Chain A
Amino acid sequence: MKIRATQAIMECLLEQGVDTVFGYPGGTILNVYDELYNYRDKLHHILTSHEQGAAHAADGYARSTGKVGVCFATSGPGTTNLTTGIATAHMDSSPVVFLTCNVTEPLLGKDAFQEVDITGIAMPITKATYLVRDAATIPDVMRQAFAVAATGRPGPVLIDFLKNVTDPSVMIDYEFIPWTENRSCSSIQSLARSHGLKAPEPDAQDIAILADMIARSERPMLICGGGVVRGRAHRQFRELAEKLDAPVAITVMGGGGFPGGHPLATGMIGMHGSRASNVACDECDLLIAVGCRFSDRVALQPDTFASQAKIVHIDIDRSEIDKNVLTDHHIIGSARRVLEMLNPLLPQYSHPEWKAHILSLREGAETDEGDALTHVKILEAIRRLAPEDTIVATDVGQHQMWSIQHFHFSYPGQLLTSGGFGTMGFGLGAAIGAQLGNPDKRVIHVTGDGCFRMNCHELSTVEHYRLPIISVVFNNGTLGMVRQWQSLIYHNRYSATTLDRGPDFVKLAEAYGLRGYRVTTPEEMESAFRDALSAGCGCVLDCRLDIDEMVRPMVPGGAHITDFLIK
């Protein structure tokens, strides 16, 4: 069947089950948007205020639903505005397909208006980039892009179409192939010959070795990493933890992979990790890390990391093995498949002494009996009043660490945070994507005053699409995390971190047609948050905090994991 090239782009999106796309139009992508107009009943397009917001929204959509996110942008500045969003998705292995357009073939390389080599720019921050110069390849490239984004270790893919390829006069052959049968198309078959498209089947012998190591271990410990979340292996991981009867530390990206309130959970590990997690890591004799890449925020000092332990690394990506921390044993495979094979081999273990020792180090949730408004009061009010399955999207900094320490996430996709790239301004876009992907769930955006100002223009998207997102701004008038470092390490020299300036976030919310609340006391927090929950529209809570609150505990970068700078 001959159809327009742009029509093929839309049909390929439908093949993949896409119903929501995020984006921002412009000169070179006009043909695609013109076609989108024909498909407006099937493809819901969300227009954001800025391409970065669209990229984060597609990312948040992907993280919270487990589907592939889709984002459109025009050439030049449209695509470069995406780059922060692409890099964020890449570092956190989130599957997003970015569709951009470039100038026409004769203008390529002539420094035409809004021309940039985006496939070159995006190369190191994507799993793959495609430059489409021949319309006939569109179906193949689209199918391959979705397969690459979603399989193995997920990640972003960028497709750049030249404008002439999308011309309405260009007709190509197209045949509908549902995504479940996509593998039969030729480009994917040839790809599968050089790169296994399926996750590799874990080696049974390697799994038996691990089972044996577990049997010999007296002080085992587990780390729940982002792979458990991306691979939706939370049930299998929980079964393993309970069979092992071992403490479980959770990385930032692992939030939601293991219930935070579980009796075996010891909380975060690493720089702002709990004492229990960090001490357990230092004292255990077997450390099993599932889907975690031992980043510098976890393995602060790789040489002494878990120095008494045999380290076992389970990961889907071969290139992660021995990258940051040398391991004693590794298993390549998806977290889910490996644990499905491992769990039946294990009897029920019991490590009462070891467990009692580590679990006694848990401080329990921070409490605060004072009258002043503190981060604890805010988080405690949210936890008490919001539904249990609330999705939390955070930005980056103190509020991010506090949220992860305080909330107990219980399912994958409940916590949306830029763990690897640390993107300030990620939260609001991600919350928009999550709310659109999960219309029945409550979505809360936790942010700081610095982060919020970076992308608060997306409040207009919140308003336009009537998304009941509550933005809770931890407003301490400073870039809190940077200030904390300046206080502790730079002798109180507060260089360029004090945010003694506008805007007034309450007025800002009102200017965007949303509700704004000023919160200065715990009582105001309670009433404002209750009100916001029933408002039925986007709300902004401007919560005023003391400038010198700190994230505790903290181990400085590069130090041994139990050398706490502050407790």
Chain B
Amino acid sequence: MKKTFNPEKKLYTLAILVQDIPGVLSQVARLFSRKGYNIESIVSGETDKPGVTRITIVILGDELMVGQIAAQCRKLIPVLAVKLLDEATAIQREFALIKVRAADRNARDEVIQMSNIFRAKIIDVGRDTLTVAVFGDRDKTAALIGLLDGYGILEIAKTGTLSIERGNSTIYDNNKLKEEYNYGKNVL
């Protein structure tokens, strides 16, 4: 039987370990655009291992497309590992700094209250503005941004999504499942 793929488009998170060499981020990002996939967010940062960078990419796509891009990614020489993280088994977080207009006292109180409910922090106070730092999953930041929008958002600085697996499992495990990768290793 032909394998069936879920045709529904949704957000998928890919965690990619790469060698920290010049141009590696552009090489990975270019692969996505070359294959016609839109990157929703991309985050890159160092890991516990020297010389190894972790890139987390969120893309909107269907199951077939995500499997395809993971396989293509794995072929790149500086790419050490690729893992598809799903919501059920991985935690996802993002971080946003939001500068809101809050000229009068009422607005200030409301913004501060709302921030408290979301466990966000006021990290800067200006004469007419408040800057809120919020940390949470995509839905949480989106909800807070939606609420603050009513007061007039002046600027947002936001990271993409970071993701890590729950429990004991890590990306260093032998994550090359038979179903997904066949015989373990990628072919150059």
Residues of chain A whose beta carbon lies under 8 Å from any beta carbon of chain B: 119-120, 123-124, 127-128, 131, 147-148, 151-153, 191, 194-197, 199-203, 311, 316-319, 321-323, 326-328, 330, 332-333
Interface-central residue, A148, A194, A317, A330, by most chain B CB under 10 Å: A194
Point out the residue from A119, A128, A200, A311 that lies within 8 Å of B183, measured CB to CB: A200
Alpha-carbon separation in the docked complex, A123 to B75 (Å): 13
Q: Determine whether the beta carbon of A200 is less than 8 Å from that of B77.
A: no
Majority SS of interface residues in chain A? loop
**B2 adjacent to A195 (CB under 8 Å):** no
A65 shortest CB reach to chain B, Å: 21
Interfacial chain A residues near B144, Cβ < 8 Å = none
Given contact pairs A120-B23, A196-B187, A326-B2, A319 touches B182 in the complex (Cβ within 8 A):
no
B157 located at the interface, meaning its Cβ lies under 8 Å from any Cβ of chain A in the complex: no
Known interface pairs A203-B182, A323-B68; A194-B3 also in contact (CB < 8 Å): no
A408 to chain B, nearest CB (A): 32
Given A124-B34, A195-B77, A328-B1, CB of A319 within 8 Å of CB of B188: no
A318 B182 Cβ-Cβ under 8 A: yes
- A197:B188 contact, CB within 8 angstroms: yes
Q: In the bound complex, do residue B2 and residue A152 qualify as a contact, i.e. CB atoms below 8 Å apart?
A: no
A-B contact pairs, 23 of them (CB 8 A): A120-B23, A123-B23, A123-B27, A131-B23, A195-B74, A196-B186, A196-B187, A199-B187, A200-B183, A200-B187, A203-B183, A311-B2, A318-B71, A318-B74, A318-B181, A318-B186, A319-B68, A319-B71, A326-B5, A327-B2, A330-B182, A332-B183, A332-B187
| Interface set of B (CB-CB < 8 Å, partner A) | 1-3, 5, 22-23, 26-27, 30-31, 34, 64, 67-68, 71-72, 74-75, 77, 79-81, 181-188
- In the complex, are the beta carbons of A195 and B185 less than 8 A apart? yes
Query: What's the nearest-Cβ distance from chain A to residue B179, in Å?
Result: 12
List residues of chain B with CB within 8 A of the CB of A311. 2
Shortest B184–chain A CB gap in Å is 7
Known: A194-B79, A196-B185. 18 other contacts (CB 8 A): A123-B27, A124-B31, A147-B188, A152-B187, A153-B187, A194-B80, A195-B74, A195-B75, A195-B188, A200-B184, A203-B182, A316-B187, A319-B68, A322-B5, A322-B68, A328-B1, A328-B3, A332-B183
Roughly how many angstroms separate A128 CA and B23 CA in the complex, as a whole number? 12
CB distance from B171 to the nearest CB of A (A): 12
B64 to chain A, nearest CB (A): 7
Q: Are A151 and B34 in contact (CB under 8 A)?
A: no
- Cβ-closest chain A residue relative to B77: A128
Residue of A nearest to B22 (CB): A131
In Å, the complex CA distance between A201 and B186 comes to 11
Given the known interface contacts A120-B23, A203-B182, A328-B1, the answer about A151 and B30 at a Cβ–Cβ threshold of 8 Å is: no
* Partner among B31, B67, B77, B186 whose Cβ is within 8 Å of the Cβ of A322: B67
How many angstroms from the CA of A505 to the CA of B121 in the assembled complex? 79
Expressed in whole angstroms, the Cα–Cα distance for A323 and B36 within the complex equals 13
Contacting pair A148 B77 (CB below 8 A): yes
Q: Is the CB of B2 within 8 A of A328?
A: yes
In the bound complex, CA of A191 to CA of B186 (Å)? 11
- B65 to chain A minimum Cβ distance, whole angstroms, is 10
